Amino acid sequence: MLKKIISGSASYYRHCCLIVTIISLTSIAANAQNNTKSARISNPIIPGDFADPCVLLYKDTVYIYATAANIGSVWRSADMINWKLTKLNWPTSMRQPDVWAPAVRQATDGNFYLYTSVNHQIYAGVAKHPLGPFKNILGDSVFIKDRQYWPKIHSIDADCFIDNDGQAYLYWGSGWDFKDGVCAVGRLNKDMASFKEKPVDITPAGYFEGPHMLRYKNKYYLMYSDGIYFNDSYKVRYAIGDSPTGPFVQASNSPILTSNLAKHVSGPGHHFTIKLNGQHYIVYHKHTYPFKNGQRQVCIDKLDFDDKGLIKPVITTDAGVNLFPKKRQVDHNLIKPVQIKVSADDGSFYKASYAADQNFGTRWLAPVGKDAFLEVDLGKIKKVTGVEPIFDSIMGSYDYTIEYSANGTDWTLFATAQNENATEWPVRHSKRVNARHVRINIKALDPGIQAGLWELNIYQ
């Protein structure tokens, strides 16, 4: 989950840094041997600060729901390369704090049911499509209040599981003050927002939060996270039972996903699983590298079982996983810059070259509190058809202009926009021009965000 409660009060991370007052001009040379590049799948699979992922596959499109501060949002992709982010109408419309861990399942009636924590209580929504629009099943009412049923339970991190017989179950629960996590489960009625009987406490050993149910060969695998989400103690454990309601016994080789700092894997957890063509996959978050202001990113890797039915330790990869390996990939026609220069960068971890490396694990950041620019040299005049900035804060409040030039001296406006006002992200600005140089000028309007880019995609 994104935020936790310390001593009963909300502890909320804000983006904050020291203001740097010196802007210098830096120039980063790129490999000029090949002036085109291909978009590729890698971990993290989406850019930006997103946590507690849920993954859904519907009609050859992957949807990823994740914690994003106080906004309900969903990423979607048909090829695992081109991703678009949109806001969910609900629960965003509630304008409440702490919108955490949205989880969506398609039920036997064909509808999509969304369970999410809002201000430390659980709400249930329904829609006809994974993108919504969603509505609260109970009108304006809460489904599960905080501390309902048990005084120690923190009512967050709900996850719905639908068994082979069509019966739906809801798992949820965490603890307060980073201790005494409680895991609960209840059998859902057909309305998906009430229980057939009183829920039960099924808390297994080592449990803190983020429950997720997986069925494999008539056994039930209750997976969950423990540790503290903002350090490298966070990890994924699991327990096995003979029914969806347990009892559950922690597996002998639990945990199966832990930090590996040598591979830049820190704090992996709060995950979801998906099965496709007989193969299971695990989608989880880990800390950004380097870990900055509580930020986390979403990754995907294979999940396998041994011949005894135990989940094998997850092998984390830089490559990630393509869920559509046989599907024809779109030719993205990305132009690779031969040189990049910027107003300044915020240190060696945030170099200008990272804005053009097709890697969502790296980014260029300008010093906080400063307007910034990034300029690319394409090596020679090329036909440019589109420019797509992927900002550090994906939906953040940035004013920006994009310009192009044949000689690096005389500039013409390509596009101007306010990032926050878009309806989906990242925004691709399309126009056919001949250019050798492309420049983006960025002004961060919110003091809590930095000018910076995960990528600046330039299309030919």
Spans of all domains in the chain: 41-303, 334-459
Q: Which of 49, 98, 157, 209 is catalytic?
A: 209
Active-site position among 52, 98, 159, 357: 52
How far is Cα 35 from Cα 227, in angstroms, rounded to an integer? 45
- The whole-angstrom separation of Cα 130 and Cα 113 is 9
Please compute the mean of the pLDDT values over residues 14-31 and round it to a whole number: 34
Q: What SS3 class is residue 39?
A: coil
- Is there a catalytic annotation at residue 209? yes
- Angle ∠(312,318,322) on CA atoms, nearest 5: 80
Choose the weakest-confidence range: 90-94, 203-207, 299-303, 401-405: 90-94
Supply 329's token pair.
């990939």
52 is catalytic: yes
Distance CA 267, CA 232 (A): 4
Provide the percentage of residues in the chain whose pLDDT is more than 70: 90
CB atoms within 10 A of CB 42: 17
In our burial notation (b when 16+ CB lie closer than 10 A, e otherwise), range 332-357 reads bbbbbbbbbbbbbbbeeebbbbbbbb
pLDDT, position 21: 29
The mean pLDDT value for 151-157 works out to 98
User: Which CATH architecture is the domain 334-459 placed in?
Assistant: Sandwich (2.60)
DSSP class of 313: P
Q: Which numeric CATH code is attached to 41-303?
A: 2.115.10.20
Determine the pLDDT at residue 5. 34
Q: Write down the pLDDT at residue 134.
A: 98
Please report, for the chain, how many H helices and E strands are present, in that order.
Answer: 1, 32
pLDDT tens string 353-362: 999 999 999 9
Residue 111: closest CA among 95, 94, 124:
124
Q: Is the pLDDT of residue 84 over 60?
A: yes
In the sheet that holds 296-303, the strands lie side by side as: 269-276, 279-287, 296-303
Alpha-carbon distance of 314 to 256, in angstroms, equals 6
Q: Is residue 300 within 8 Å of 317, Cβ to Cβ?
A: no
Q: Are 5 and 314 in contact (CB under 8 A)?
A: no
- Position 301 scores a pLDDT of 98
Helix H segments across 53-158? 89-92
pTM of the model as a whole: 0.91
**Is the pLDDT reported for residue 327 higher than 90?**
no
